[in-house]
Amino acid sequence: MNGPTSIAITGIGLATPLGIGKDGVWSALAKGRIGLTNLTLFKSPRCGVFPVGQVRDDLAALGAPRKASRGDQLAFLAAREALSCAFPDGLGNRGNRAGIALGSTVGGMLASEDCAERLVRTGSFRPGPLRRHEPAASTDLCAGTLGLAGPSATISTACSSGAMAIAMASDLIRGGEADIMLAGGADSLCRLTLNGFASLLLVDKAGCKPFDAHRAGMCLGEGAAFLVLESASSARSRGARIFAFIRGWAATCDAFQPAAPDPEGRGAARAMRNALAAAGLDAGEIDYVNAHGTGTRDNDLAEARAMLAVFQAAVPPFSSTKGFFGHALAASGAIEAAICALALNDGRAPPNPGFKTIDPSIGLAPLTEPMSGPLNHVMTNSFGFGGNNVSLILSRTQSRAAGHARARSTEKFCPVSVRAISFMSPAGNTFLEISRFGQARPLEPRLLDVRPPFPPCRVPAYACDDSGVEADLDPVRHRRLSRMLKMLLACGSRAMRDAGPPAGARDPERTAVAIGTGLGCLEDAGAFVMNLFENGERTPMPARFIQSVHNAPAGRLAIDFHAGGPNGTFTHRDISFELALWQAASALGAGSADFAMAGAGDLHDPFLLAAGRAWKWWPEDSPAIQPFSARLPAGNRPLPGEGAAVAALTRAEGSEAALAQVTAVRMGQQSLPFDSDAEARWILDALESAGRPDMILCGADGFPLHDNAFLDVARALGRQMGGPVPIAAYKHLCGAFYSASAFGFAAAVGLCSGALDPAILAWPPGGGPGHFACRRVLLLTRSHAGARALCCVETPSS
């Protein structure tokens, strides 16, 4: 194995309440300018009195796309600056090996709220803004406009999302998946978060005062930040300016409560210790800590206790910069990482605005003035809902021995074993149940009623039977959870039960959770937002707010199974599941976890169904999904489906108890213009020595353009491998939805383990299962928005 790759930061871009552009923001920080002001972005009867970190610049006038959401615009401006900073003359031919990892919490929620407000106040449903609702819209905008054709990922781990994106991007470069990564986060202010945090009594009318004895809550903010990451050798070979190096990182989960930290800060302390170990540093070598420091009573106390546990009596100088910007949620970790890189360059650490009085329960005082002097190593912490903790360590110089003392794996992929898998689908919840269907007996859609205040209609769709879900849940602890949470928790419970040893003897602190979801917990987010307008913000719904975040399922799984290892949520349209699987496998391969749960889920929602009918996608007489049939009427889209799945994973050694092995996972952007031969070469490069697949299992859904692309790739792959490769599809069993590939993965595991007959799959005309053994299945996923992913599933003895 080659030595670990040092990751250099060669570009920085910032869009914050202190200005657009890194130089202006750093200058404003040096002058002590505070970016907290009155809210003017939207009207809020209850929360308009709170100071916020609002970006005042005209984003469109600065070049941001006018038809994009506000979050998209902020992301674009920061991403454009970072890339221009690193590559003043443009990427050139480097774009094919350049990717993007973006953290986002609310996506286009602000515009979606406008849609909901119009519906409540006038009865008019105009779903146009919902097209930009998803967090992945920001990622796709930046990738498409800036020429990034490498891996794309959207991460949504609440307030740690931006930091997690930087960590993931670093590992993609170390693993050889990309040469250059644009990594950061973006979020805009919106009514959901402002009213949500206020309903939890976590917002302070008097401003943000992190670590102060009289602190009473946070101030919400917005913004975006991006770093350009590349290997140190690449940066030096082209003479690039290097701002700093990503020395190491670690992620943990409190597994304590959905919206409150472990009061002793144990999960945060483990993240800091593990980051130090990954960086090959002692605690005494950290010169400055950029604290998460939200200004809430519990969070600041827990973080202080964590720092004391790690640094003992020698806590380094520290500060929270949220008093300058407000808490920009997913963007905060990225903004703070950018500030740390600039601090290392300038030899000056920023102060902690708002601090006046030491809290006796904390016993620590942050910096109250800028600290000048040499900085060699700095730590930045990001903690979020669901107990997600990420600690990054940045250094001024390249790390010793060109890498970490405890290096993360530099292999492209570390094979993992699937010990168990559980799913809920419209066709059934076990392999035996779904075996009743197939091309000879297709699964028929149901008509779902959409009721007021939406325009009443009936939408044909594939729906799960979740009537037995309560049997796997605690009737007291889980009674108020939404359907999405219940289904994923039930799948997790079944997978953990079926996995058996070593699952029963696992170390909770070394158990990772990774979940994919294209749209998140829409039931909770929609209920919370509609209630705001129906009741004039008088009676907010705090329980709904807590469950509205995309990472609520991953957080609840961690709580239920005491999983304190890395915890991630990915929301990148159709490849959300593959990203979750990649992260779980990476945690196992890097040695930061010994056991992992990887899964995904998306469910029907009135907003989704009503929007699809308004766009005339799903007339009441729409046909069932028939992959490869070319029978979908013009203007129609494949019928919507839903489902959830969770797999229990371990490292591949000792795989005798495994159902299957995963030997490759890769993400990227489709070739433009579409080139089936280029797609086939990408597949072959990912498979490397895995060998010829027995079949391709793809996401064909009856949409001709989509289906034909899969068929063209299969033919091109056959040409390059010296013989045809059979291809089949699975969406006639589950419908079309963002995380459907999790069901496809379950089907691949069933095929390789002998639990599923290939005859139930959909085959192209003239194709069929024949009489071959499915020992190696290639799962292919494509998104209409341009993302692609593959996963190779094999029998353990392959």
Q: How far apart are the first and last CA of the chain?
A: 23
CB burial readout 209-224, b (16+ within 10 A) else e:
bbbbeebbbbbbbbbb
Tokens matching residue 373: 């002097």
Query: Under a CB-based contact definition with an 8 Å cutoff, are residues 615 and 127 in contact?
Result: yes
Q: Which two tokens stand for residue 666?
A: 């890769």
> Active site residue: 133, 327, 404, 706, which one?
327
Give whole-number Cα distances, 779 to 31, 54, 175, in Å: 54, 44, 21
Specify the 3-state DSSP secondary structure of 371.
Answer: strand
Give dist(CA 338, CA 18) in Å, integer. 14
Strands 595-602 and 643-651, bridge-based pairing: antiparallel
Residue for token digits 């928005």? 785
Q: What's the token pair of residue 246?
A: 């990503």
**φ and ψ of 223, to 5 deg:** 155, -170
Q: Which of 133, 292, 377, 404 is catalytic?
A: 292
Q: Is 734 among the residues known to form the active site?
A: no
From 142, 159, 208, 491, active-site residue: 159
Tell me the DSSP string of 543-554: HHHHHHSTTHHH
Q: Residue 243: enclosing H or E segment and its boundaries?
A: none
- Please confirm, yes or no, whether 706 is among the known catalytic residues: no
Helix residue ranges per DSSP H, 435-575: 483-499, 522-534, 542-548, 552-560
CA distance 360 to 421: 49
Neighbours of 471 (CB within 10 A): 9
Task: Rounding to the nearest 10 degrees, give the CA dihedral for residues 76, 82, 87, 92.
Answer: -30
What does the CA dihedral 308, 312, 315, 319 come to, rounded to 10 degrees? -10
Q: Length of the chain in residues, anyone?
A: 798
Task: Determine whether 292 is an active site residue.
Answer: yes
Cβ–Cβ < 8 Å for 715, 676: yes
Q: Are 211 and 43 in contact (CB under 8 A)?
A: no
Q: Which residues are catalytic?
A: 159, 292, 327
